[in-house]
Amino acid sequence: MATRKRRSNGEGTIFLDKSRGRWIALISLPDGRRKKASALTQKEARLKLVEMLADLENHGAVFDQRSRFQELSSLWRAKVVEAKVMAPKTREMKRWALDRLDSLLGDVKLVDLNAERIEGAFEAMAAEGLSRESLNKIKSVLNQLCVFGERRGLLRKNPVSIVELPGNLPERKPQRSLTVDQATTLLKASSGDRLHALWATMLMLGLRPGQETALQWDAVDLDILVLHVRKNLRKVDTVFELSDELKTKRSRRSLDIPPPLVEALRSHRDYQDLERKQAGPAWSTDWDGLVFTSLTGTPLDPSNVRRDFSRLTEAAGLGHWSPNELRHTAVSLLSAEGVPLEQIADVMGHKGTQMTSQVYRHLVTPSIGAATGPMDELFG
């Protein structure tokens, strides 16, 4: 029979389990579960209780040799995924990845979490049909989680750095960008389009579609020629949401407006004023201030933006293109003009140059001439 030594609420309990001849330290967790540790003496049990209370205070959970992956996953989900500012799509992706990881690794003890177990989980996901792109996203989330655990002393070492994804996975669809000639053709073809300024802004400043359609006139200063990226627009089911949550902290930025874009935006503002007058009472007052709207002043539907842009590029003889590829084009054209990657990353709102270089930059010239001038000076 167990003899308990009661303590006040929030301090936990130690008691003697006479049937086992062991002292037990017991603590109640915020989620309603209980955590216990056993010891030979009352003094040892009291020390373990103190350790568990310290864990609860410092980490929001209690970890020991029996702690499992799902406990660390739950802690990271609460303290990072649900608590920090991030774009809604990013949060949804992290939740999805955590659910996948929990289903395969949830019961694995943290002390047993190693590359082999993780690779086994990825092989199972690959067998389900997940693509290389999806597995890379899950691996990135797992790495963030393990870095979090390692920094807090909950993992001895982050094993993700040596994890290899299964072989023979289908590669992601190659990304692309418009060449200089194609971009010029596009701007000429769209010059009479009511959304010409939208396409020009995405092409010249590389804004994401949701950032572009969220622009408000008070964030576009055509006097000092600066555009502020502060909001994101998304459509959930049939409801539009204008949010301050951007993809990353670096997404919040202020950009100088190139001269050709200044004229496009001024013309667009004048034309929007005319549309508002023509629409009369039909013009929506719920979204006053949006730079790019429908003919009745409501937000642009993402599917309509994609369809209209594809029609424009098809009519211009460029084939099918998506608005997001204008962001790739902006990076590629700036790089081709010799703009340093660090500066391009700042324009795009990237944290560093890796994403800019490996994902968004593409060759937009028929040949690479970086060696021509230096070699001519050296050996010509």
Q: What percent of the chain has pLDDT over 70?
A: 85
Structure tokens that stand for 231 in this block: 């909001």
For β-strands 34-39 and 220-221, DSSP reports them as unpaired
Catalytic residue among 36, 94, 360, 361: 360
Q: Do domains 69-162 and 189-315 have the same CATH topology?
A: no
How high is the pLDDT of residue 147?
A: 93
CATH architecture of 189-315: Orthogonal Bundle (1.10)
pLDDT tens figures, 33-52: 677 778 889 888 888 788 77
- Asked whether 90 and 131 are in contact (CB, 8 A), the reply is no
Torsion of CA 43, 49, 53, 58, to 10 degrees: 80
State the Cα–Cα distance between residues 363 and 352, nearest whole angstrom.
Answer: 20
Catalytic residue among 247, 253, 328, 362: 247
Q: Which among 51-55, 89-93, 200-204, 371-375 has the top mean pLDDT?
A: 200-204
Mean pLDDT score of the chain: 85
In this structure, whether the domain defined by 69-162 belongs to CATH 3.40.50.300 is answered with: no
Catalytic residue among 48, 231, 234, 350: 350
- Asked whether 291 and 215 are in contact (CB, 8 A), the reply is yes
Q: Across residues 50-58, what is the average pLDDT?
A: 74
Q: Across residues 153-174, what is the average pLDDT?
A: 82
Catalytic residue among 208, 328, 361, 362: 208
pLDDT tens figures, 63-99: 666 788 988 998 899 889 998 877 778 889 999 999 9
How high is the pLDDT of residue 5?
A: 45
Q: Is 327 a catalytic residue?
A: yes
Of 138, 133, 79, the residue nearest 103 (C-alpha): 138
Q: Model confidence at 368, in pLDDT bands (50, 70, 90)?
A: very low
Q: Across residues 348-374, what is the average pLDDT?
A: 63
How high is the pLDDT of residue 145?
A: 95
Catalytic residue among 327, 328, 361, 362: 327
Q: What percent of the chain has pLDDT over 90?
A: 48
Q: Where are the domains of the chain?
A: 2-59, 69-162, 189-315
Amino acid at site 171: E
* C-beta atoms surrounding 217 within 10 Å: 14
Q: Model confidence at 266, in pLDDT bands (50, 70, 90)?
A: very high
Q: Is 208 a catalytic residue?
A: yes
Give the lowest-confidence range in 107-111, 183-187, 370-374. Answer: 370-374
Q: Is 350 a catalytic residue?
A: yes
How high is the pLDDT of residue 364?
A: 57
> The pTM is what?
0.60
State the Cα–Cα distance between residues 245 and 208, nearest whole angstrom.
Answer: 13
Q: Model confidence at 226, in pLDDT bands (50, 70, 90)?
A: very high
